[in-house]
Chain A
Amino acid sequence: MNSSPFWRLGQALLVLWAAFSLSFAILYALPGDPVAILLAQSGEPGAVDPAQVAELRARYHLDGSLWQQYGGALWRLLQLDLGVSLQTGKPVAAALAAALPATLALAFSALLIAVPLGIGVALAAHQVRRRPVQAALHNAPALVVSLPTFWVGLLLLQLFSFHLHWLPAMGEHGIASLVLPAVTLALPCAAMIAQVLGRSIASVSQQPFVQALRSKGVGRWQLLWRHILHNASIPLLSLTGTLLGNLLAGAVVTETVFSRDGVGRLAQAAVASQDIAVVQGVVLLAATLYVLTNLLTDLLYPLLDPRIRQGSRP
């Protein structure tokens, strides 16, 4: 397989185009007329003026055949125009840009918690020798992954806001109101990191060079830090794209639970009011994020792992 940067870029663009086409097919080609929904929601029952319907169709680019709509939408997307929200009548791109900072702050704080926590749990599970503690550390990630995120958020809210009154419950008032949502969002991500890193550490420490170093007398901690972790952390890089996607999807639930503004809340509200343009915008944002991250990590791989530079992937 060709793996030159240009080839990878072309592939990334292909995936983005396919993501656009898939979301268009789901949202626009399925039965269910957006204009009819819009008119039904505006609360004017009975006879609807055909001219008004035609005007609405033209405004939201819903006139013409499906292929014309598709071509038009694709052409506007190339100019970074994501269309107009059916609910507010404002451009989707502007709504996304307005909602993005809050979500980025949330996602970034979640990452700040998740990365050290995940790595710490994986390392501890490898180093700790006491049976019950080790078993607990091994099983904790799988346990956390199977808890519903929204439920964890509600439990934290109940305990720390309503019973202990340590942290504010809702809204955005500085750092304090960011703690609970960030922890809620971070827990599943930390569990994912711990699982992948744990598996990777286990497989690296099986390798002969570890045995050789150990018999040479390298200390346990130095062996772990310098030799095992260095090799074991490479699979984490390919996890980045999925992790960011999970953060965005998790933000939908977290922002809803904690009544925070952001992309996730925007998506939830858009689905609730069947605002297809906004839904498509969020989907495309997620796909772009994933594709760009993967492109970046693919280009970074050879810099971090000399084995890949020589042509073969481990």
Chain B
Amino acid sequence: MILQPALSPSVSLRYWPGFPVALSLLLFLVLLGWAFFPALLSSADPLLADPTQTLRAPSAQHWFGTDHLGRDLYARCVHGAALSLQATAIAVLIALVAGTLLGGIAGWFGGVADRVLAVLVEVLMAIPALLLAMAIVTALGFGTLEIAIAVGLSSVAVFARLARGEVLRWRSRVFVEAAQVVGVGPWTNLCRHVLPHAVGPLLALAALEFASAVLAVSALSFLGFGAPPPQPEWGLLIAEGRNYMVAAWWYTTLPGLVVAGVVLATQQLGRGLQRLQGERS
């Protein structure tokens, strides 16, 4: 470009997130509200069946309509948020911690540890994440926590690769070598001096992985490996609606829209965080 703008925009303007990110933030806050204060945001009981109100279309009284037992679908979505988000958060946390540990060790110590990690990452890439998660669920049994662990373990590879790269980037810096010379042990050095620099990129990746973890958790729940039926887990809600697609379009459509909205919002936020990270470093 020949023409440079004479005045670069002020810092506050440069970090202004833009409309999509702002909207995503708003959606995410609503979601947190659903997860932490479900009773405040929906007055109906998510488990209370009402035989006189079965399969009602969305209305002012039932925003998302009702299901085949007359339960309020909006209330079920709101109360399901806690279950689904819990599972997602656990999954991302497991992937983050395990991946950082593996990648950190491989990057720092190199040699055999690095070779082993390379093969492990290759294997984890070779097996599609959903199939790996299904294998883990087979061994662990079914339930919300189980699918959370499965999704977490099956997405370790991305974090391990990033952590390894970050450790390799920082380990040859002068301050790290200085610490080494002074006599700081390898573990202390890794944890105190190298990993803090990797926190930013790793957390940005975690935010991005949150979106795909929501998808994976809901897919496993849809396939029937999550919490048992009375629970309002999102994937399960949609699976239950399958049998009433002709009579009640809202039964599968609206809970699915919630999942899609959450994925989109968290993805936008993750992208925003990554951009911010990129600008800073």
Contact = CB atoms under 8 A, between A and B. Distances in A.
Interface stretch (B33-41, B51-59, B88-96, B138-146): B138-146
Interface in B261-276: 263-264, 267
B127 A287 contact: yes
Interface string A188-200: 0000000000000
Contacts, number: 138
Interface of B: 119-120, 122-123, 125-132, 134-141, 211, 215, 218-219, 222-225, 235, 238, 241-242, 245-246, 249, 252-253, 256, 259-260, 263-264, 267
Closest 8 CB pairs of A and B: A151-B256, A249-B128, A249-B130, A30-B139, A245-B128, A146-B263, A290-B126, A287-B126
Given A148-B260, A155-B253, A286 B120 contact: no
Contacts of A143: 264
Contact of A283 (B120, B135, B224, B252): B135
Given A146-B267, A147-B260, A283-B135, A154 B127 contact: no
Interface in A139-165: 142-143, 146-151, 154-155, 157-158, 162
Given A253-B222, A276-B138, A162 B128 contact: no
Given A245-B126, A283-B132, A154 B245 contact: yes
B135 A280 contact: yes
A246 B138 contact: no
Nearest to B267: A146
A23 B123 CA distance: 10
Contacts of A257: 242
Interface stretch (A177-185, A229-237, A266-274): A266-274
Given A15-B122, A150-B222, A252-B131, 14 more contacts: A18-B120, A18-B122, A146-B267, A148-B218, A162-B245, A162-B246, A246-B128, A248-B128, A248-B131, A249-B128, A271-B138, A272-B225, A283-B132, A290-B127
B242 A283 contact: no
Nearest to A161: B245
B128 A151 contact: no
Contact of B135 (A32, A151, A279): A279
A279 B132 CA distance: 9
B119 A15 contact: yes
A280 B219 CA distance: 20
Contacts of B141: 32, 274
Q: How extensive is the interface on chain A, given as a class?
A: 35 or more
B interface SS class: helix
Contacts of A283: 127, 131-132, 135
A158 B253 contact: yes
Nearest to B260: A147
Interface in A45-72: none
The interface centre, meaning the residue of A23, A143, A146 with most chain B CB atoms within 10 A of its CB, is A146
Contacts of A275: 138
Contacts of A23: 127, 135
B128 to A, nearest CB: 4
A157 B126 CA distance: 31
B263 A26 contact: no
Contact of A267 (B125, B131, B215): B131
Interface in A258-314: 267-268, 270-272, 274-276, 279-280, 282-283, 286-287, 290-291
Contacts of B256: 148, 151, 154-155
The interface centre, meaning the residue of A22, A27, A154, A270 with most chain B CB atoms within 10 A of its CB, is A154
Contacts of B129: 249
A201 to B, nearest CB: 20
Given A26-B135, A26-B136, A26-B139, A148 B259 contact: yes
A30 B149 CA distance: 14
A245 B132 CA distance: 11
Contacts of A256: 222-223
Given A151-B252, A290-B125, A252 B215 contact: no
A36 B41 CA distance: 45
Nearest to B261: A146
Contact of A286 (B119, B131, B215, B264): B131
Contacts of B235: 148, 150
Contacts of A274: 138, 141
A270 B138 CA distance: 8
A27 B122 contact: no
A271 B211 contact: no
B83 to A, nearest CB: 16
19 contacts: A18-B122, A26-B135, A27-B135, A30-B140, A32-B141, A146-B211, A148-B256, A148-B263, A151-B252, A249-B129, A257-B242, A268-B224, A271-B138, A271-B225, A272-B224, A279-B138, A283-B132, A286-B126, A287-B127
A205 interface: no
Nearest to A159: B249
A4 B82 CA distance: 52
Contacts of A32: 139-141
A34 B139 CA distance: 9
A249 to B, nearest CB: 4
A271 B245 contact: no
